[in-house]
Amino acid sequence: MTHAPHGAAPLTFLKGHGTENDFVIVPDPDGLLDLSAADVARLCDRRAGIGGDGLLRVVRSAAHPEAAALADQAEWFMDYRNSDGSIAEMCGNGVRVFARYLQCAGLADAGDLAIATRAGVRGVHIAKDADDGTPGDITVRMGRAVFPDGLVTVSVGDRTWPAVHVSMGNPHAVAFVASLDDAGDLLRAPAVVPAEAYPAGTNVEFVVDRGPRHVALRVHERGSGETRSCGTGACAVMVAAARRDGHDPVHSGHPVTYTVDVPGGRLVITERADGEIEMTGPAVILAQGTVDPVWLSPGIAQHRP
Ligand SMILES: N[C@@H](CCC[C@H](N)C(=O)O)C(=O)O
């Protein structure tokens, strides 16, 4: 039964994941919701809430102050939040799940579309469903990787590894290790030195080789803890592995493709000769429902129509 104080409407949500990086999806086309960090953390709580590694608010770009300038390039803006309520610039798995939501809601068709994010506009391609109805994979043009200057190290317990500093719009520290078990339980964020390299914190990836142009990772995400996948992290790992292996498509003129296994599945990532990184993987919407407004902060209810 739904209680509705002050006539507040229940909050509609959906649940989805991409390689088991899972999200609470909140459609808010006209940008009417005031979602505080505490609201997001409550919705993402796995025991007292819906549960998710993050939250995707679906807002028309024209209705969001951070995206209004992009409205002529992308109708929809992905307002991404980590599960602790913090804001991040970009979420690679989130973009695929966001696109799948638009498709399921009849707001986009299979084929090409553009989605605005805090890291800029991302081109997306939704492949057609297979004959047996399996949803087609989704490819996202993730932009170019940036390698900020300076050496960084990552430590877990008394072990320390050199790491590659990569920006995919959001920050990453990529450490090549002998075994994914070396990362320990990842309950706490690994120590990264120097801290000044990442003034807003960082995501940390631990990587092992599986074969030629095939790696596997575990990740500790800033603001979410260990997750079963991280799309931007997989791209950061791919470019770090490619450089280590002597591949630089911008210089050679030859694209290179890596398979990146994550605990929740597999992503295929290509760095093109123009430096653009393309990530392909699955995206699933699995449930929808409403949240009792009694449980929401007054801030959400107040801003609803
Ligand atoms: N899971 C995401 C990354 C989400 C943001 C990250 N935690 C950050 O704070 O930068 C992905 O798939 O890229």
Contact 238, 260 (CB under 8 A): yes
Q: Is 117 labelled as part of a ligand binding site?
A: no
191 and 253 share one domain: yes
Please report the pLDDT score of residue 204 as a whole number. Answer: 98
Q: What is the pLDDT of residue 144?
A: 98
304 marked as part of a ligand binding site: no
CA–CA–CA angle 100, 221, 156 (5° rounding): 150
CATH code (residue 241): 3.10.310.10
Give domain status of residue 174, yes or no.
yes
pLDDT in tens, 203-212: 999 999 999 9
**Same-domain check for residues 102 and 156:** no
Crossing angle of helices 92-104 and 231-244, in 10° steps, is 130
Residue with tokens 């959906």: 14
**pLDDT at position 298:** 65
CA 205/CA 221 separation, integer angstroms: 8
Within-domain flag for 4? no
Q: Is 44 among the catalytic positions?
A: no
- Separation between Cα atoms, residue 36 and residue 243, nearest integer Å: 40
Q: Mark whether 187 and 297 lie in a shared domain.
A: no
The answer on 68 and 50 residing in a single domain is yes
23 and 115 co-located in one domain? yes
For residues 128 and 30, state if they share a domain: yes
pLDDT at 2 (0 to 100): 38
Q: Does the complex come out with an ipTM higher than 0.90? A: yes
Check whether residue 160 and residue 130 sit in a common domain.
Answer: no
- Spans of the chain, pLDDT less than 50: 1-6, 302-305
Tell me, yes or no, whether 49 lies in a domain.
yes
Ligand 1 within 6 A of CB of 92: yes
Provide the CA 304 distance to its chain's centre, in angstroms: 27
pLDDT of residue 142: 98
The answer as to whether 180 is a domain residue is yes
Instruction: Judge if 159 and 240 occupy the same domain.
Output: yes
Domain coverage including residue 90: 11-137+284-302
Ligand 1 centroid–CA 230 distance in Å is 6
User: Taking Cα atoms as reference points, which of 104, 44, 135, 96 lies closest to residue 288?
Assistant: 104
Task: Give yes or no for a contact between 239 and 260, defined as CB atoms under 8 angstroms apart.
Answer: no
The count of domains in the chain is 2
Which protein residue's CA is at the shortest distance from atom 3 of ligand 1?
A: 91
Q: How far apart are CA 137 and CA 139, in angstroms?
A: 7
Instruction: Confirm whether 1 is domain-assigned.
Output: no
Q: Is 103 in the pocket of ligand 1 (CB under 6 A)?
A: no
The DSSP secondary-structure symbol of 272 reads -
On whether residue 145 sits in a domain, the answer given is no
In this structure, the answer to whether residues 291 and 271 fall within a common structural domain is no
For residue 32, give both structure tokens: 């009417």
242 shares a domain with 188: yes
Answer yes or no: do 122 and 159 share one domain.
no
**Could you tell me if the CB of 293 is within 6 A of ligand 1?**
no
In this structure, are 59 and 133 located in the same domain?
A: yes
